[in-house]
Amino acid sequence: MSSTRQLISSIAIYLGLPIFICGTLGNLLNIRLLWRTRHNPCAFLFLALSFINCIVLLYGLFTRILSVGFYLDWSSTNLIWCKIRIFFGGASFLISLTCTCLASIDRFLISCRQEKYRKLSRLSIAIWAIILTIIFWLTLCVPFAVNTGLVRSPYTGLLSCTYVENQAFTNYQIYFSFPVYYGLLPSIILITTGLLTYRNTNKLQIIRQRQIFQKQLTSMMLIQIPIILFSTLPYVIFIEYSIFTATMAKSINQRAIELVITNIVSITCYITFACPFFVFFASSTSFRKEAKMLFLCQKTTPLRTNQIQPSFALTAKHIQFISMRTNQMVSYPTTSLKNIKSTTINKK
């Protein structure tokens, strides 16, 4: 049993810490790079997603690394911290998944050919969607904090932060809340909107527009959806399996193996909240250029649309082509005012 505990501790440290460090830095870089484009609805959703992901990694993954990896579990001794961790950890988890689904829905609306659907992709709607999402999940997670307490284990005699005995709440959590909110609902939304977006981009009539649009959105969809499914669904499925088979007779080796698998899937589920920066960097050319300029400490100086280029930007070849069309003398930008006057006098 001691070897199993040591293995679980090593998994939390050597698997959880890289995910936490890379995910936190990646989300902070997302906030920095997406801040300039926050007036775009989809970029604003990704910006809010990055903020929420930092909270998920802090309250969910980092506290788990401390408790499992370094045996520093303050939630087992402090009831207030126990309730705060459960409340903000669960709420931020669900808010982040909802923001991802909202961004996927926004991409689907933009890809529609009907103007009435494209008009729904507005910044004001995105802001209200984020506000209502936060209010909804914070309200829904209040019963989780209320039904949380310090419970003494009958096997070890140690206190742990877990849900108190409430049959109605337990049934709600096992049969509806956990499998639907964490697994089925976000998976169905992401898969459906992703497939619809791919279908709509194939129907765009302008070839160049279809190529650019499909290359950006389809690559993000194909990379993001498998990562979410790979990291979230195994966690939901195995936790449900552990709950339903908790009363079955199992050998010590089987329980040890299931305990190790539970800790692995509990940590890998946070890949969903740590991967957005790497997904954007791998799938978006413009995002990759912005990131490289940030790493190299270069400033972007975009050309304004109403900025007039100077006359010396024209080449001699272009000037000769214009003069042939207009039957006029070729005059280069380097010609001085004095030469122009002398030419005019000779003609006279």
Q: Which of 15-24, 101-110, 315-324 has the lowest mean pLDDT?
A: 315-324
DSSP bridge pairs for 12: none
Q: For residues 144 and 93, what is the distance between their CA atoms, to the nearest angstrom?
A: 13
- For residue 9, CA distances in Å to 77, 208, 220, 233, 328 come to 20, 52, 34, 23, 83
- Residue 283 pLDDT exceeds 60: yes
CA distance linking residue 286 with residue 7, whole number of Å: 42
Domains and CATH numbers, the chain: 1-295 (1.20.1070.10)
What pLDDT was estimated at residue 25? 95
Percent of the chain with pLDDT over 70: 78
- Termini Cα distance of the chain: 108
Tokens of 60: 């969910």
From 302, 309, 305, 277, select the one nearest 291 (Cα to Cα). 277
CB-based burial, 292-311: b 16+ in 10 Å, e otherwise? eeeeeeeeeeeeeeeeeeee
Q: Which residues pair with 151 in a beta bridge?
A: 160
Pick 326 or 6 by higher pLDDT. Answer: 6
- Number of helices and strands (H, E) in the chain? 17, 2
Distance separating alpha carbons of residues 23 and 231, to the nearest angstrom: 14
Question: What was the pLDDT predicted at 347?
Answer: 42
For residues 170 and 163, is the Cβ–Cβ distance under 8 A? Answer: yes
Mean pLDDT check: name the lowest of 28-37, 60-69, 147-156, 224-233.
Answer: 147-156
- Banded pLDDT at 223 (limits 50, 70, 90): confident
- Are 93 and 181 a contacting pair, CB within 8 Å? no
Q: Can you give the pTM of this predicted structure?
A: 0.80
What is the distance between the alpha carbons of residues 143 and 171, in angstroms, rounded to a whole number? 13
**Token output for 41:** 């609805």
At 300, the pLDDT band (50, 70, 90 cuts) reads: low
| Closest among 230, 339, 222 to 283, alpha carbons compared | 222
pLDDT tens track for 161-179: 888 878 888 889 888 998 8
Tokens of 309: 């280029």
pLDDT beyond 50 at 191: yes
Cβ atoms within 10 Å of 44's Cβ, excluding its own: 21
pLDDT at 235 over 80: yes
